[in-house]
């Protein structure tokens, strides 16, 4: 099971050029020591390369003689109770009981990748319980390592409690997570990026032509991999010069891979099905559009048996923000955002891309952007998590010179937004 899963995930540690260029990282070796020292969470921004880092760590541990069980949460979208997970794994007994009874005295590691894939769904509770039970019932016999986005950890009370403790490595620590034992996957270093350029003439040309903004974007593994896919498609490295944001890079990728309106509609229908079921993988038959197979062939969607998911979680967020959320009509957008916390958590990363699109075309002072924040906070049926996300995105984008004209007038127009004043 573990060997097959690591083989499937090998792609996350390679750039899609030629036969695959291995991504080497200076952070790989420093992460192994804290893993060997005890259970911890691996965190990082979306697309930081958490899966690739965990695959590298798992292979290194196996090579040293350790027993490793590697589970990818996105492979189990339909689990609602522990028995479902046992069934999906074709186990005749409870997983934790099997781990407890496993023979041998070598170091043992249970690695659970992509907890964010369960965000807002029933499987989130299943994996949280699995982690709690494994740490409580297996004690020091097994080390539990799990990966999660920083955003999801901030909203994941059970995960924070399970991994309470000091940071595993001060050099690789997220300042806001000081009470959680974690390792923060950083952006690629100069040496990491240079190694990719040495291994590929196409990447070297891209790096040579990159603006300062693009060069910084390419320190994110997902962004670099996306750019490599575009290069493999024949894109001219010089054509990347106008790209300054992650959204702009993904726009370029989507426009090149999804050439028709029907394909973008099919991608939007996939998001609709996933948002409706609170799962990031759904049956292909539930995506109500004839062009879904074309989107799969283009590599935007991927299949696993009867199930379909986006080839990367960041692509789900971006397609949701661009083609599903009605960023052009904030009354409709507010209606889409209404719902329980599970829905809010699932769509929160997508809201970032939607708001960035609003900001991009907004008038000086950004009145529509600030008005949206007011509407989110003043609508009781919209979870405050989304309001906090929206406000943070605007605060990160707005220059000091623009804060007064649009924002202050927006606040004055909404004197009754108690939740906003409380924030």
Q: What residue numbers bound the domain in which 66 lies?
A: 2-184
**Domain stops at, among 237, 257, 277:** 257
At residue 402, the pLDDT reads: 52
Q: Are residues 128 and 156 in the same domain?
A: yes
Q: Are residues 163 and 222 in the same domain?
A: no
| Run of H or E including 192 | helix 190-199
Q: Is residue 320 part of a domain?
A: no
Decide: helix, strand or coil at residue 340: coil
Opening angle at CA 78, ends 83 and 289, nearest 5: 160
At residue 121, the pLDDT reads: 77
Q: Are residues 30 and 152 in the same domain?
A: yes
Q: Is residue 59 part of a domain?
A: yes
Q: Are residues 227 and 356 in the same domain?
A: no
Decide: helix, strand or coil at residue 44: strand
41, 159 in Cβ contact below 8 A? yes
Q: Are residues 161 and 238 in the same domain?
A: no
Domains in the chain, number: 3
At residue 253, the pLDDT reads: 97
Token code pair at residue 412: 């004055």
Q: Are residues 123 and 163 in the same domain?
A: yes
**Domain stops at, among 228, 257, 286:** 257
Instruction: Provide the 10 A C-beta neighbour count for residue 253.
Output: 22
What is the C-alpha to C-alpha distance for residues 145 and 113, in angstroms, rounded to an integer? 8
At residue 399, the pLDDT reads: 61
At residue 380, the pLDDT reads: 85
Q: Is residue 40 part of a domain?
A: yes
Q: Is residue 388 part of a domain?
A: yes
At residue 421, the pLDDT reads: 38
Provide the CA 303 distance to its chain's centre, in angstroms.
18
Q: Are residues 409 and 372 in the same domain?
A: yes
Token code pair at residue 136: 């409580």
Q: Are residues 198 and 119 in the same domain?
A: no
Q: Is residue 306 part of a domain?
A: no
Q: Are residues 335 and 235 in the same domain?
A: no
206, 243 in Cβ contact below 8 A? no
Q: Is residue 294 part of a domain?
A: no
Using DSSP, how many helices (H) and how many strands (E) does the chain show? 22, 10
At residue 140, the pLDDT reads: 93
What is the C-alpha to C-alpha distance for residues 249 and 261, in angstroms, rounded to an integer? 19
Q: Are residues 423 and 388 in the same domain?
A: yes
Instruction: Provide the 10 A C-beta neighbour count for residue 79.
Output: 24
Contacts of 377-381 spanning 24+ positions with Cβ under 8 A: 377/414, 377/417, 377/419, 377/420, 377/423, 378/414, 378/416, 378/417, 378/419, 378/420, 379/334, 379/337, 379/338, 381/338, 381/339
Instruction: Provide the 10 A C-beta neighbour count for residue 133.
Output: 18
What is the C-alpha to C-alpha distance for residues 201 and 120, in angstroms, rounded to an integer? 42
Q: Is residue 283 part of a domain?
A: no
Radius of gyration of the chain (CA): 22
At residue 398, the pLDDT reads: 62
102, 58 in Cβ contact below 8 A? no
**Domain stops at, among 184, 217, 234:** 184
**Mean pLDDT split into 10-residue runs, the chain, 423 residues:** 91 88 95 97 96 97 98 89 93 96 95 90 91 96 96 90 96 95 98 95 95 96 96 93 94 97 98 92 96 98 93 96 93 89 86 93 90 88 87 76 48 44 38
The pTM (predicted TM-score) of the whole model is: 0.91
Q: Are residues 222 and 355 in the same domain?
A: no
Q: Are residues 172 and 194 in the same domain?
A: no
CATH code of residue 11 = 3.30.370.10
Q: Is residue 98 part of a domain?
A: yes
């Amino acid at each position: 099971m573990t060997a097959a899963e690591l083989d499937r995930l090998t792609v996350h540690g390679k750039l899609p050029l030629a036969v695959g260029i291995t991504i080497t990282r200076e952070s790989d070796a420093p992460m192994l020591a804290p893993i060997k020292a005890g259970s911890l969470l691996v965190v990082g921004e979306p697309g930081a390369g958490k899966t690739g880092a965990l695959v590298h760590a798992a292979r290194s541990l196996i090579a040293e003689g350790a027993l490793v069980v590697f589970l990818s949460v996105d492979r189990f979208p339909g689990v609602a109770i522990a028995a479902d997970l046992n069934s999906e794994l074709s186990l005749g007994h409870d997983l934790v009981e099997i781990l407890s009874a496993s023979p041998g005295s070598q170091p043992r590691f249970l690695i659970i990748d992509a907890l964010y894939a369960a965000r807002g769904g029933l499987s989130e509770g299943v994996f949280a319980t699995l982690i709690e039970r494994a740490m409580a019932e297996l004690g020091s016999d097994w080390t539990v390592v799990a990966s999660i986005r920083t955003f999801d950890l901030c909203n994941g009370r059970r995960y924070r409690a399970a991994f309470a403790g000091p940071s595993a490595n001060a050099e690789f620590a997220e300042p806001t997570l000081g009470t959680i034992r974690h390792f923060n996957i950083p952006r690629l270093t100069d040496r990491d990026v240079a190694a990719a350029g040495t291994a590929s003439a196409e990447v070297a040309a891209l790096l040579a032509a990159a603006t300062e903004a693009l060069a910084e974007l390419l320190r994110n593994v997902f962004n670099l991999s996306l750019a490599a896919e575009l290069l493999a498609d024949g894109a001219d490295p010089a054509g990347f010069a106008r790209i300054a944001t992650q959204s702009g890079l993904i726009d370029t990728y989507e426009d090149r891979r999804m050439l028709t309106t029907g394909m973008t509609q099919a991608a939007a229908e996939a998001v609709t099905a996933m948002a409706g079921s609170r799962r990031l993988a759904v049956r292909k038959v539930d995506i109500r559009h004839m062009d879904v197979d074309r989107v799969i062939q283009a590599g935007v969607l991927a299949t696993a048996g009867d199930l379909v998911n986006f080839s990367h979680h960041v692509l789900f967020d971006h397609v949701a923000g661009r083609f599903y959320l009605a960023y052009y009509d904030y009354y409709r957008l507010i209606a889409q955002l209404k719902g329980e916390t599970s829905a809010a958590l699932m769509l929160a990363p997508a809201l970032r891309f939607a708001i960035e699109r609003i900001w991009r075309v907004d008038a000086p002072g950004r009145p529509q952007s600030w008005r949206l924040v007011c509407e989110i906070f003043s609508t009781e049926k919209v979870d405050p998590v989304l309001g906090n996300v929206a406000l943070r995105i605007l605060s990160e984008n707005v220059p000091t010179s623009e804060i007064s004209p649009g924002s202050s007038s927006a606040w004055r127009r909404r004197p009754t937004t108690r939740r906003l004043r409380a924030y």
